A and B are shown apart, each in its own frame.
Chain A
Amino acid sequence: MLTLLFDGIAYGMLLFVLSLGLAVTMGLMNFINLAHGAFAMAGGYVLVVLMQQAGWPFLACLPAAFIVTAAAGALFERTLYRPMYGKPHLDQVLFSIGLTFMAVAAVDYVIGSQQQNVQLPDVFRHRFEFGTGAWQLGMGAYRLFIVVVCIGLALLLQALLSRTRFGSRLRAAVDDPRVAAGLGIPVNRVFLVTFAVGSGLAGLGGALGADILGLDPSFPLKFMVYFLIVCAVGGTSSITGPLVAALVLGIADVMGKYYAPKLGAFIVYVLMIAILLWRPQGLFTREGGR
């Protein structure tokens, strides 16, 4: 039972890192970016390619995944996304679906459609076990690593948001871009940096999760639903909202698959619909937020 809880937390933290970029993009630019999953997949493939072709050690590939996808995100934002900001949501949805399709097919063509195997360094293959019986807590070293990294990231981002000038500019731009621009905040640059960081986080999440979630060209399509659930339920105007939503989703998913395997994923969807009906703006949105 505790092991399951731990697994759920690890899964949830991973989802959080993956979805945070999407949440911030939606909250900041009011842009529904369904191609977010493609950035996550890109990060995973950067990891795989660097490890398998260039022989880089695992830990070095993680920052590389972040940097490469952040750079890609910055590039795309400047060239492709910016013209789409004012357009209706349907156009944005279709545009990002189009990008996703292109990414999926490109990866399939260049690398192939088989599942990618990530060989973790041996230090991550340990397992810590405490206690026995129903209350046994078994923690895989890798999952522990993921939880620690994600908590660190969450704290770092929260500090960035509340303690730095960039953070306050970002919060201002989220609340009201026009007034923020009027005050001299370079809103476009804020968007660019935020989008880049968000995509980088997705890439990092994809690299971290490649071992647990599996990595193949259909990754964006499989997991996009989960990211969207986290954003819809957690709201898009804070970091804690998506964090809590991701944890709830991760734990519910794992517990559901253990205790009621026939229902499994069904529980997650019903839960999501129920929450959205009860609070259409998400669980954590401030009143008056978008």
Chain B
Amino acid sequence: MNAQQKLRAPSRWRAWEIALWVLIWATPVVFAQHAALVNEIAILALFALSLDLILGYAGIVSLGHAAFFGVGAYGASLFAKHVMPDPLVGLVVGTVLGAVLGVLTSPMIVRGTDLTRLMVTMGIALVLLELANKFDNITGGADGLQGVVMGPVVVPFIGRFDFDLGARVASFYSLGVLFVAFLLLRRIVHSPLGISLQALRDNRLRVSAIGLSVQGRLAAVYTLGAALAGAAGALLAQTTGFASLDAFEFHRSADVMLALVIGGAGWLWGGLIGAIAFKVMHDLLSAFTPQYWTFWIGLFLVVLMLVGREKLFRPWTWWRRGSK
């Protein structure tokens, strides 16, 4: 293979990727009983994908990603309640709001150390939580925003689909948005921008040394991640019919980070696989021991970190000593 072919190779669709996507699209039918869970997995996967962009590809450690999620959720719900109940338009509103917040906060995250960034991102999520709580005449405060009735999803040339009790339509809707986001990110990651992002993650100093704008790239990727997180939040609000302060809570930021780490940050499938693994594990463990799910996930994390994150998905390295 010459250099050009080698560089292009990752961007081609592999057979297993296509197969996986076919399987994914089939889940709301195959697992019709668990369509609500499939919906939640799709939303978490989108959320994790958005975090992957800023964490896996740009190296920004953020414990406050829920800020964008919550903004998207409340934005979409308020839009549906007061303006129009069309889900697709509401989705766009949620995404745009996420992006706006991302643009506003990106100057804050480019400065300082890892710890500072951690604190600032957490702080932003906490501030938004308090704001949502304070303006409870708009947001419903601790009781949550009730009374959001969504209209049908209008897919051109295919038809109108109302949200049903069995969550079938909801899961297909979320999967659709996830798929579009996945395609979009695939294009970006394999573009020059994407490659420069990976360089940024690996060595920021060198990137600026070769004349690329670090601030601009960081801001761009942060905004895009924020926009996608906003979309995920909008999906949650639309498919469940309400929005609550829980969307801003720390555990949301922590959960999505866990899901991403389980799946592996730095590659696109990481978010999806991690979301599936996380939610399924949660559902299974909660059925046995509702309280002690946190214990086992904590243990899993500790072991995973001690062993080494990258090693989990490369089983052949488990027995090879001395390799990185």
Contact = CB atoms under 8 A, between A and B. Distances in A.
Complex contact flag A–B (Cβ < 8 Å):
yes
B291 A228 contact: no
A269 B112 contact: no
Interface of B: 55, 61, 63, 108, 111-116, 118-120, 122-124, 126-127, 130-131, 134, 250, 254, 257-258, 261, 265, 291-295, 297-302, 304-306, 309
Contacts of B309: 91
A118 interface: no
B127 A270 contact: yes
A84 interface: yes
A224 to B, nearest CB: 9
A53 B131 CA distance: 43
A89 B257 CA distance: 14
A70 interface: no
A93 to B, nearest CB: 7
Contacts of B108: 273, 277
Contact of B254 (A95, A97, A108, A229): A97
Nearest to B119: A232
Given A232-B115, A281-B113, A269 B123 contact: yes
Interface in A1-59: 26, 32
Contacts of A104: 294, 298
Contacts of A276: 112, 116, 119-120, 123
Given A26-B115, A94-B261, A109-B291, A269 B301 contact: no
A102 B120 contact: no
B124 A273 contact: yes
Interface of A: 26, 32, 80, 83-84, 87, 89-95, 97-106, 108-109, 113, 221, 225, 228-229, 231-232, 262-266, 269-270, 272-273, 276-277, 280-282, 290
A101 B294 contact: yes
Given A97-B258, A105-B295, A225-B250, 8 more contacts: A95-B306, A98-B305, A102-B294, A105-B291, A105-B294, A113-B291, A263-B134, A273-B108
A89 B61 contact: yes
B24 to A, nearest CB: 26
Contacts of A94: 257-258, 261, 301, 304-305
Contact of A266 (B127, B261, B301): B127
A273 B127 contact: yes
Given A98-B300, A269-B123, A276-B112, A105 B292 contact: yes
Nearest to B110: A280
Contacts of B134: 262-263, 266
Contacts of B113: 280-281, 290
A38 B302 CA distance: 15
Q: Which of A26, A113, A228 has the most CB of B within 10 A?
A: A228
Nearest to A229: B119
A272 B298 contact: no
Contacts of A282: 116
B130 A102 contact: no
B289 to A, nearest CB: 9
Contact of B295 (A89, A102, A229): A102
9 contacts: A83-B306, A89-B114, A98-B297, A105-B291, A105-B295, A231-B115, A266-B130, A281-B112, A281-B116
B301 A98 contact: yes
A231 B134 CA distance: 28
A191 B120 CA distance: 28
A232 B61 contact: no
Given A83-B306, A105-B298, A32 B118 contact: yes
Contact of B114 (A32, A102, A103, A113): A32
Please name the 4 residue pairs, one residue from A and one from B, whose CB atoms are nearest each other, closest first.
A98-B301, A101-B298, A280-B112, A105-B295
Do most interface residues of chain A lie in helix, strand or loop, or is the interface mixed?
helix
Contacts of A221: 250
A93 B55 CA distance: 13
A113 to B, nearest CB: 8
Contact of A102 (B119, B257, B299, B306): B299
Given A106-B295, A263-B134, A272 B305 contact: no
Nearest to B60: A90
Contacts of B120: 273, 276-277
A91 B299 contact: no
Contacts of B61: 89-90, 93
B116 A101 contact: no
Nearest to A271: B123
A280 to B, nearest CB: 3
B295 A80 contact: no
B291 A108 contact: yes
A106 B295 CA distance: 7
Nearest to B250: A221
A290 B116 CA distance: 12
A98 B299 contact: yes
B218 to A, nearest CB: 15
Contacts of B116: 232, 276, 280-282
A287 B304 CA distance: 36
B128 to A, nearest CB: 10
Contact of B122 (A26, A99, A225): A225
Given A90-B55, A265-B126, A272-B119, A280 B291 contact: no
